[in-house]
Amino acid sequence: MSTEPGLSVIQTDPILRVDSVTKSFGKKIIFNNISFNVQAGQVVVIVGPSGTGKSTFLRCVNGLEDIQSGRIVFEGDIVNAHSKNIVSLRKRIGMIFQNFNLYPHLTALENVTLAPMKVLGESRKLADERAMDMFRKVRLEHRASAYPSQLSGGEQQRVAIARALAMNPSLMMFDEPTSALDPETVGDVLAIMEELARDGRTMLVVTHEMGFADHVGDRMIFMDGGTIIEDGPPSELLKNPKEKRTQQFVNSVLRPN
Amino acid sequence: MYNFNLFFIFPYLDSLQWAIWNTLQISVTATFLSIIFGVLMALVRLSNYKYLRLCGVFYVEVVRNMPMVVLLYLIFFGLPSFGIVLSGYISGLTALTMNSTAFMTEIFRSGFMAVSKGQFEAARAQGMTNTQLYRFIILPQVFRISYASLGNQIIGVIMGSSIMMIATIEEVTAWMFNTGSINFRYFEVFFVGGLVYFVLCQTVNLVRNALGKIIFKTAAAGGPW
Ligand SMILES: Nc1ncnc2c1ncn2[C@@H]1O[C@H](COP(=O)(O)OP(=O)(O)OP(=O)(O)O)[C@@H](O)[C@H]1O
Ligand SMILES: [Mg+2]
Ligand 1, from A54, A96, A209: best to mutate by most atoms within 8 Å of Cβ? A54
Tell me, yes or no, whether B88 lies in a domain: yes
Which residues are within 8 A (CB) of A15 and not within 5 positions of it... i.e. 6 or more apart?
Answer: A38, A39, A40, A74, A75, A170, A171, A202
Tell me, yes or no, whether B64 lies in a domain: yes
Verify whether ligand 1 is closer than 6 Å to residue A116 (CB atom).
no
- How far apart CA B175 and CA B168 sit, in angstroms, is 11
Is the Cβ–Cβ distance between A38 and A202 less than 8 Å? yes
Tell me, yes or no, whether B24 lies in a domain: yes
Q: Is the pLDDT of residue B81 over 80?
A: yes
Q: Is the pLDDT of residue A35 over 80?
A: yes
Check if A252 contacts B (Cβ < 8 Å). Answer: no
Which residues are within 8 A (CB) of A124 and not within 5 positions of it... i.e. 6 or more apart?
Answer: A113, A117
Look at chain B and report how many structural domains it folds into.
1
Question: End-to-end CA distance of chain A, in Å?
Answer: 42
Q: Is the pLDDT of residue B222 over 70?
A: no
Chain A: closest CA distance from residue B215 (Å): 10
CATH number at B87 reads: 1.10.3720.10
Residue A4: the pLDDT is 52
- How far apart CA A206 and CA A211 sit, in angstroms, is 13
Q: Where are the beta strands (DSSP E) in B36-168?
A: none
Check if B130 contacts A (Cβ < 8 Å). Answer: no
Tell me, yes or no, whether B47 lies in a domain: yes
DSSP-derived 3-state class of residue A118:
helix
Question: What is the per-residue pLDDT across A152-196, written as a single tens digit (0 to 9) for each?
Answer: 999 999 999 999 999 999 999 999 999 999 988 999 999 999 999
Tell me, yes or no, whether B192 lies in a domain: no
- How far apart CA B76 and CA B99 sit, in angstroms, is 15
* For ion ligand 2, residues whose CB falls within 5 Å: A 55
DSSP-derived 3-state class of residue A122:
coil
This model's pTM is above 0.90 = no
Give A-chain residues touching B119 at CB under 8 angstroms.
101, 103
Interface test with chain B among A118, A134, A179, by most B beta carbons within 10 Å: A118
Residue A11: the pLDDT is 61
Q: Which residue type does B81 have?
A: S
What mean pLDDT is predicted for residues B12-31?
96
ipTM score? 0.90
Question: What is the per-residue pLDDT across A90-143, written as a single tens digit (0 to 9) for each?
Answer: 999 999 999 999 999 999 999 999 999 999 999 999 999 999 999 999 999 999
Res. A1 pLDDT band, cuts 50 70 90: very low
Tell me, yes or no, whether B51 lies in a domain: yes
- How far apart CA A30 and CA A133 sit, in angstroms, is 40
Interface test with chain A among B120, B124, B126, B138, by most A beta carbons within 10 Å: B126
DSSP B48-82: S-HHHHHHHHHHHHHHHTS-HHHHHHIIIIIGGGG
**In 10 A of CB A254, how many CB atoms?**
11
Ligand 1, from A21, A28, A56, A179: best to mutate by most atoms within 8 Å of Cβ? A56
Residue A210: the pLDDT is 92
Check if A90 contacts B (Cβ < 8 Å). Answer: yes
Q: What is the extent of the structural domain holding B157?
A: 11-169
Tell me, yes or no, whether B186 lies in a domain: no
Tell me, yes or no, whether B214 lies in a domain: no
What mean pLDDT is predicted for residues B28-52?
97
With a CB-CB cutoff of 8 Å, which residues 115-154 of chain A face chain B?
115, 118-119, 147-150
Q: Which residue type does A89 have?
A: L
Residue A251: the pLDDT is 84
